Structure 1
């Protein structure tokens, strides 16, 4: 390989990328916007549950139950309704997340020392969110029950108890941003590198400069190397900037080695750049290349464990995830960010990225032919 020719091709690629204002926006502004938007939007934390209350009892006990819900700072009673129909309409329109129906004999049953039933109606269109809301509801009801027991039976009861001292490692406050922001870092690196590389060769053909490159002494390997080096540099620079946003803006701790993180990024880029080059060789226009890129992006995202646990997927799909480089990169990024683990634990993921990267990149190079067709 002639590194002088590769250097000039790299210089040409940077000039071609940076002189276009739209490319500058994609390279320098879009990653920060995406990081900020995804960092705040992708969130499973529940801080506001809208509740409609249908209280047929109108007693001290029913008001105390309502106050117990409001006192949790998660439940907010936004509607006090007077009929079942009104409650159902609010659920149907999506104006509330949950409805509470207290029967007329609620207080009388409790005062007798019997179990009083109330009806909880939850919007189950989003099953995972509904499950979390019902779990919070059970906690509030348990708090109300303990309060009523102390009020109705004030005598002191001495008995042995379990003292559970729970400590959550790696994410003490159970903040979902700790889980999602490192994943967003990995996803944005894949998005930008795959998108830009997929149009690298097509852009030469559409601009009419491919003919000039064909008649040069550049070999196919030199051409591919010169085309990928700029995107490797750009992706690593974007990785550094996105990591800085994650640490200083979102305050996500980086517990492990940043050098291991960048080493994993280089291995991951072998796969994404290889796939991008493959797309660029089979596409005839930039629009076709971009559409093909998004065809790859969605399965990569869904089968990576970024949003949905891989263990919950069908067995056949779980086997398919082993071909997804984002799966391994996410484990490395989250492990280094949150747990501070190193190669002694993460070596299987590094090895998988290396094998996939070599296979994909070698296949892309063998697929490329230095000709117009």
Structure 2
């Protein structure tokens, strides 16, 4: 079949003009990929940083050197308000999310223990993220080896033994860490994409005018269109949770009511986002494109794959306005750690606030479009 260059040129010029006339399309094609490349190139690194580290020991030279060397390495950060000499229960620091790694000295301190021949040092790690815990263990071993060598305690074959004790994920299983995040990610994708496209379809097919002409109120239209997807989202959470516990054997240490509360708040935020997107776009294709553009940063900046602590401060604020982050943290805490109530309600409070803001914006925009 012969191609007519004049026709191809006409199509090419027409598409270029059409794209240049649409600011949203220009944003999607040029600006957003550049921002994502810069942001993710800086934020998404496998290097473990900003580790909350505590040396639980009586005051002494070795304890001071361990802490100073750890902070100087750039991997660890000091936990404010915690004095290592006054820590009564090191495991409680990790359970309360105040520390991620705690180096525990014998009761008499490092110096006296080493002098009497006790060369065992205990390291407590939060292993909910198995890969991160393994890297933290390697960092601490390196620092302990350097400090003890500098003080002459690992000469003559008497090497220091670092006894690592992992908490909340004893087998360092990555599956147990990822499945709680998949609860959020899978539900969010379905609710955002399918919910947004379903609402955009009403506008594309012209049935939205019929809804406007009907005696239904704005609230009834919004709830009627989103409630089915709300139920679907809760079913997805239940299905993945069942598969994770029954099929993969992940531990479930929290309460089902905590899963329910977090799921409801999360589903509301996802559907509010979908409704907000549907009020901006005109077609299903535009809804799909907008959903994908929203999903990429939402997933990557939620802590599903990379710790939020690794993200530079310049971009970290995006994590704290991302409802996925609070949902991921809560699901992991409830399933793997039992769900500390203070920590749980703190995340639920922020998630509820974000959900309320998204609902308000979606309602305002949806109502103005209908009018």
Q: For this structure pair, what is the TM-score category when the shorter chain's length is used for normalisation? A: 0.5 to 0.7
Question: CA RMSD for the aligned pairs?
Answer: 2.9
- 1:298 corresponds, among 293, 296, 299, to 296
Report Cα offsets for 1:43-93 as digits up to 9, x if no partner.
Answer: x9xxxxxxxxxxxxxxxxxxxxxxxxxxxxxxxxxxxxxxxxxxxxxxxxx
Indicate the residue corresponding to 1:259 in structure 2: 257
- 2:347 corresponds, among 346, 349, 367, to 349
Give the C-alpha shift of residue 346 in structure 1: 1.5
Q: What TM-score, normalized by structure 1, do the two folds share?
A: 0.56
Indicate the residue corresponding to 1:203 in structure 2: 201
The answer to whether the 8 Å contact 1:195/1:290 transfers is: yes
Indicate the residue corresponding to 1:331 in structure 2: 329
Give the C-alpha shift of residue 345 in structure 1: 2.4
The answer to whether the 8 Å contact 2:299/2:324 transfers is: yes
Give the C-alpha shift of residue 160 in structure 1: 6.1
The answer to whether the 8 Å contact 1:205/1:372 transfers is: no
The answer to whether the 8 Å contact 2:183/2:236 transfers is: no
The answer to whether the 8 Å contact 2:277/2:287 transfers is: yes
CA–CA distance in structure 2, aligned partners of residues 314 and 366 of structure 1: 33
Greater Cα radius of gyration, structure 1 or 2: 1
- 1:187 corresponds, among 156, 161, 185, to 185
Indicate the residue corresponding to 2:72 in structure 1: none
The 3-state SS of whatever aligns with 1:278 is helix
The answer to whether the 8 Å contact 1:268/1:353 transfers is: yes
For residues 35-184 of structure 1, what are the structure 2 equivalents within 5 Å? 162=160, 164-184=162-182
Range with bigger deviation, 228-237 or 164-173: 164-173
The answer to whether the 8 Å contact 1:201/1:280 transfers is: yes
Give the C-alpha shift of residue 201 in structure 1: 1.9
Report Cα offsets for 1:108-135 as digits up to 9, x if no partner.
Answer: xxxxxxxxxxxxxxxxxxxx99x97xx7
Which structure 1 residue ranges, 5 or more long, are not aligned?
A: 1-43, 45-127, 140-156
Give the C-alpha shift of residue 368 in structure 1: 0.6
- 1:286 corresponds, among 284, 287, 294, to 284
The 3-state SS of whatever aligns with 2:367 is coil
- 2:245 corresponds, among 230, 244, 247, to 247
Q: What TM-score, normalized by structure 2, do the two folds share?
A: 0.56
CA–CA distance in structure 1, aligned partners of residues 268 and 239 of structure 2: 20
Give the C-alpha shift of residue 309 in structure 1: 1.4
CA–CA distance in structure 2, aligned partners of residues 371 and 322 of structure 1: 29
CA–CA distance in structure 2, aligned partners of residues 314 and 165 of structure 1: 32
Which structure 2 residue ranges, 5 or more long, are not aligned?
A: 1-45, 47-130, 143-154
Give the C-alpha shift of residue 164 in structure 1: 4.4
CA–CA distance in structure 1, aligned partners of residues 228 and 344 of structure 2: 28
CA–CA distance in structure 2, aligned partners of residues 320 and 363 of structure 1: 18
The answer to whether the 8 Å contact 1:194/1:275 transfers is: yes
Give the C-alpha shift of residue 278 in structure 1: 0.7
The 3-state SS of whatever aligns with 1:293 is helix
